[in-house]
Amino acid sequence: MKNLKLKAARAAKDLSQQALADAVGVSRQTINAIEKGEYNPTIKLCRAICKVLGCTLDELFWEE
């Protein structure tokens, strides 16, 4: 399932996939795969992404 919440939060902070990837220590392809729903990130990576974007785990990764 695509993670449109992550994509929207990243765009709201005016960050490219590369900028977010650099901030959390992964490749741009990893961020792309998470947004496309092709990769299930570790909780450690989820927390790092949330910290950079100023969001909670529920806001970015909880599925309705």
- pLDDT score for 20: 98
Q: Residues 5-9: what's their mean pLDDT?
A: 96
Task: Count CB neighbours of 34 within 10 A.
Answer: 25
Q: Does the pLDDT of residue 59 top 80, yes or no? A: yes
- pLDDT score for 63: 79
**All structural domains of the chain:** 4-61 (1.10.260.40)
Q: What is the pLDDT of residues 11-45, one digit of tens each?
A: 999 999 999 999 999 999 999 999 999 999 999 99
Confidence of residue 56 (pLDDT cuts 50, 70, 90): very high
Residues 6+ apart with CB under 8 A from 46: 57, 60, 61
The DSSP-derived string for 19-53 is: HHHHHHTS-HHHHHHHHHTS----HHHHHHHHHHH
Are the C-beta atoms of residues 33 and 39 closer than 8 Å to each other?
A: yes
- pLDDT score for 64: 72
